[in-house]
Amino acid sequence: MNEVAQSTKTKTTAVVLAVLVSVFSWLYTYKKNKKKFWVGISISLFLLVLYFATYDLVVWALVLPLVWVWNIALYIWVIVDNATKPDIFYTGYPN
């Protein structure tokens, strides 16, 4: 009667998702990673809007490298974040 539901989430799945879909892999464990997800998406969208807003100006040449650096850093952050969490984080999720 007092059975506790076991999580079917695994660290391997989280890391594979991180490699394939980057920031969207944080949706796999949304209850614990919602702040990181929204910060990553918000900054990416802000930089994308800034890039398109300055596309006709000379400033876009300075914004474009910033967009690339942020997206590469975000990609690495997501992979490292998911890979360094212990297995118990995923098996015990959402507790």
pLDDT tens string 21-34: 999 999 999 999 99
Write out the residue range of the structural domain in which residue 77 sits.
11-85
Q: Is the pTM of this model over 0.75?
A: yes
pLDDT tens string 48-61: 999 999 988 888 88
Question: Is the omega angle on the peptide bond into residue 94 within 30 degrees of 0, that is, cis?
Answer: yes
Q: Is residue 90 part of a domain?
A: no
Q: Is residue 46 part of a domain?
A: yes
Number of domains observed in the structure of the chain: 1
Tell me how many degrees the CA angle 44-48-50 measures, rounded to the nearest 5: 115
Q: Is residue 2 part of a domain?
A: no
